[in-house]
Amino acid sequence: MGRALGLILLLALLGLVATASAETVRHLDVEQDGRAYTVQFEAVVEAPPDRVFALLTDYDRLEQLNPSIIEAERLGMAGGMERVRTVLESCVAFFCRQMERIEEITTRHQRTIESRVVPEASEVESGSTRWELAAVTEGTRIRFRTRMVPEFWVPPVIGPWAIRSNLESDLRVLIRRLEELGSSTGN
């Protein structure tokens, strides 16, 4: 039971819960190296980059994009970085688990978002994430990369397969919500 809960937490930890057509997800890769997991994806969202950026950096409303996020709040600035707290909940079968994490986030030119997990304040040993946004004919190309080392053990045979399986559907939810909210005039 502990392993299943660990896997649930890892899925939530990656925070990609996200539904658009499969054609908008151009690439999704999940790799495991020891206890570390790396997830990369590229997708196109039918919304302008400035709106996508605004939605991804509206930290108090992240649960609008990701149903696994049950709480999200800005904690203020620390060392020139925005501190954000999220509480995630994820379920596999009938096992559900919540996890809290604190991240320090920086942005550049309304096109790049980088974060680093604060391990001493999170249920994550280490982690970093990078979002890159670019204008394309169809709207916004998103390139995403995250690397996380969970505090718990995930069975290596099950880990990457389960993560990829869940992320494919979750990523589509994220894209759909970015498109819906990004094409509207307000949040």
Report the pLDDT value the prediction gives residue 90, as an integer from 0 to 100: 67
- pLDDT beyond 70 at 133: yes
Report the pLDDT value the prediction gives residue 45, as an integer from 0 to 100: 93
Residue with tokens 């950096």: 57
Report the pLDDT value the prediction gives residue 149, as an integer from 0 to 100: 83
Please give the distance of CA 96 from its chain centroid, rounded to a whole number. Answer: 18
Q: What is the pLDDT confidence band of residue 99, given thresholds at 50, 70 and 90?
A: confident
Counting every residue written for the chain, the total comes to: 187
What's the pLDDT tens digit per position in 23-48? 477 888 888 888 888 889 999 999 99
Q: What is the dihedral of CA 161, 166, 167, 173, to 10 degrees?
A: 160
- pLDDT beyond 50 at 21: no
Nearest alpha-carbon partner for 177 in 17, 19, 15: 19
Q: What is the pTM of this model?
A: 0.80
Give the DSSP H/E element, type plus range, for residue 99.
strand 95-108
**Can you give the residue ranges of every domain in the chain?**
2-183
What's the pLDDT tens digit per position in 37-84? 888 999 999 999 999 999 999 999 998 888 778 999 999 998 889 999
CB-count exposure of residue 37 (10 Å: 0-12, 13-18, 19+) = buried
The class (CATH top level) of 2-183 is alpha beta
What's the pLDDT tens digit per position in 105-120? 999 999 999 999 999 9
